[in-house]
């Protein structure tokens, strides 16, 4: 299938119009992503180990952090699943209905988050580069992460602000991306959010092939706000178990 792409300069003010223009075109496909987690801040006690043993541990940690995910998408819908566990921790969005659904686990409990799909504040640039057969354009947004930092006596909660960098292509005219990222006027090919790097290894599109985009349906139903509250409570419990302050 050959797709004809209109070349135009998009500004932030026209982003919403560009997204809406992709709807209703019967465009669908599957994108495969490889992930690499940033292990730079992680440390492991290696006293008494040889250099070879340390190297083996580092390699094993990196291998466990690398996973393969499948993004199935249409003009308006998308699902995100891990290839080895396609029935767990699924994510789904429907742009036409502004709906987001996710299965999430916290300390052994599974929750089904269903809420309104929130727009993402992307800043578009004119910077381009070639990614495989596609011409990609750069976009950025600011995001905050929270993590538990374990000290010698007490543990604390740290908040980091990072710049998310995405490269998307107008040659696949859908507004989808890896994990929970979306809202750009083309498919996201690579993305680095400071914790994880997502790299698209293949894209297959075929409007005539039947494509099933399954909705998550397992877990206790909660809103995004309710889930965030539960997560903070669980994090507080974990912080106390590490000897953190109240």
Cα distance between residue 50 and residue 246, in whole Å: 40
For every residue of 16-62, DSSP letters joined together read HHHHHHTTTS---EEEEEEEEE--TT-----TT--HHHHHHHHHHHH
Sole residue written with tokens 């381009």: 128
Q: Has residue 44 got a pLDDT over 80?
A: no
Question: Running DSSP on this structure, what letter comes out for residue 84?
Answer: S
Read off the pTM: 0.77
Question: 131-179 pLDDT, tens per residue?
Answer: 999 999 999 999 876 665 555 556 566 677 899 999 999 999 999 999 9
State the pLDDT confidence band at 10, using cuts at 50, 70 and 90: very low
Structure tokens at 24: 């209703």
**CA distances for 152 relative to 236, 239, 244, angstroms:** 18, 13, 10
């Amino acid at each position: 299938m050959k797709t004809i792409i209109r070349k135009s300069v998009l500004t932030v003010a026209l982003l919403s119009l560009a997204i809406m223009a992709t709807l209703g075109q019967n465009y669908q496909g599957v994108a495969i992503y490889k992930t690499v987690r940033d292990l730079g801040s992680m440390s492991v006690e290696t006293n008494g180990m040889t250099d070879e043993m340390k190297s083996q541990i580092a390699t094993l940690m990196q291998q466990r952090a690398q996973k393969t995910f499948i993004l199935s998408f249409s003009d308006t819908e998308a699902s995100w699943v891990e290839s080895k566990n396609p029935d767990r921790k699924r994510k789904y969005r429907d742009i036409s209905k502004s709906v987001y659904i996710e299965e999430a686990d916290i300390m052994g409990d599974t929750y089904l988050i269903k809420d309104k799909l929130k727009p993402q504040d992307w800043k578009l640039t004119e910077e381009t580069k070639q990614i495989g057969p596609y011409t990609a354009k750069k976009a950025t947004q600011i995001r905050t992460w929270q993590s538990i930092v374990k000290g010698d006596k007490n543990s604390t909660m740290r908040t980091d602000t990072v710049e998310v960098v995405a490269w998307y292509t107008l040659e696949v005219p859908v507004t989808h991306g890896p994990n929970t990222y979306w809202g750009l006027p083309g498919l996201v090919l690579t993305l680095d959010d400071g914790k994880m790097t997502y790299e698209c290894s293949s894209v297959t599109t075929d409007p005539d092939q039947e494509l099933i985009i399954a909705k998550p349906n397992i877990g206790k139903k909660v809103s995004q706000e309710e889930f965030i509250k539960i997560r903070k409570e669980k994090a507080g419990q974990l912080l106390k178990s590490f000897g953190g302050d109240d």
